[in-house]
Amino acid sequence: MRHGAAVSAENRRLLTRLAVAAVVMFGFGFLLVPFYKTICEVTGINNLLKADTVVNTQVDLSRTVLVQFDANTHDLPWQFRPLQTEVRVHPGELVTIAYEVSNTRNEPVTGQAVPSYGPVVAGQFFRKLECFCFARQTLGAGERRTMPVAFVVDPGLPADVTVITLSYTFFEIAARRIAGPEGGAGGAT
């Protein structure tokens, strides 16, 4: 019996040591958080605590470019206009503007916008991230839609270009009929 009591006492001591070790490890984990923040502040590593330390270094704050917006339609029953006619931007700055379009016909109409730039060289430095011109737009009868354009003027834009005009022209995409197996009209494509 004595042997069993010794084993029980040794097991209790081991359990006590393990419990103390677990509490110490748990407490050490909590102490690491403020220690990590202090080390990051001192070294400047991964310092997201100060909002003013995050700066977009790709934006050229020394320059401003005037971007003008224009809207046209070519034989399309739509009213189409930019919601702002111009905006001043720094090269490298992300800007979002919007155009408004409405279908004045009593049936759905599909159109495709084609952009053009003035001066022509500006097209190489005008980066659109989101644009309604990337895809065909179908508007239902009387439908009105606001469509965004998100863009960045590349900082590599020549210094003598201080004004860019972005002009969109919407063209109607006519539905084509394909002859069916019996020679009749098939569905629109």
Q: Which residue has the tokens 């590593």?
A: 45
Of 54, 80, 99, the position where a domain reaches its end is: 54
Tell me, what's the pLDDT at 35? 80
83, 102 Cβ separation under 8 angstroms:
no
Q: Is residue 19 part of a domain?
A: yes
Band (31; pLDDT cuts 50, 70, 90) = confident
Total domains present in the chain:
2
Tell me, what's the pLDDT at 97? 97
Using CB atoms within 10 Å of the CB of residue 150, give its burial: 0 to 12 exposed, 13 to 18 middle, 19+ buried.
middle
What CATH number is associated with residue 139?
2.60.370.10
Q: Are residues 86 and 166 in the same domain?
A: yes
Cα–Cα distance list, 120 to 6, 34, 94, 187 (Å): 93, 55, 21, 40
By C-alpha distance, which of 86, 161, 69 is closest to 122?
Answer: 161
Q: Are residues 111 and 141 in the same domain?
A: yes
What pairing do the DSSP bridges indicate for beta strands 144-153 and 177-179?
unpaired
pLDDT in tens, 41-78: 777 776 555 555 556 668 889 999 999 999 999 988 99
Q: Is the pLDDT of residue 189 over 50?
A: no
Alpha carbons within 13 A on the beta-carbon side of 87: 20
The values of phi and psi at residue 132, to 5°, are -65, -15
Q: Are residues 107 and 31 in the same domain?
A: no
Q: Is residue 119 part of a domain?
A: yes
- Supply the pTM of this predicted model: 0.63
Q: Using a pLDDT cut of 90, give the percent of the chain over it.
A: 63
Tell me, what's the pLDDT at 182? 46
Q: Are residues 150 and 89 in the same domain?
A: yes
Tell me, what's the pLDDT at 58? 83
Which residues, other chains included, contact 106 with Cβ-Cβ below 8 Å and sequence gap of 6+? 141, 142
Q: Are residues 72 and 46 in the same domain?
A: no
Higher pLDDT, 4 or 114: 114
| Domain containing residue 84 | 65-175
Cα–Cα distance list, 68 to 64, 71, 113, 165, 177 (Å): 13, 10, 17, 5, 39
Positive or negative: CA dihedral 180, 183, 188, 189:
positive
- Collapse the DSSP code of 96 into the 3-class scheme (helix H, G, I; strand E, B; otherwise coil) and give the result: strand
pLDDT in tens, 147-172: 999 999 999 999 999 999 999 999 99
Q: Which residue has the tokens 């040794």?
A: 10
pLDDT in tens, 72-109: 999 889 999 999 999 999 999 999 999 999 999 999 99
Q: Are residues 28 and 71 in the same domain?
A: no
Tell me, what's the pLDDT at 39? 79
Mean pLDDT score across all residues of the chain: 85
Query: What's the angle, vertex CA 67, arms to CA 63 and CA 68, rounded to 5?
Result: 155
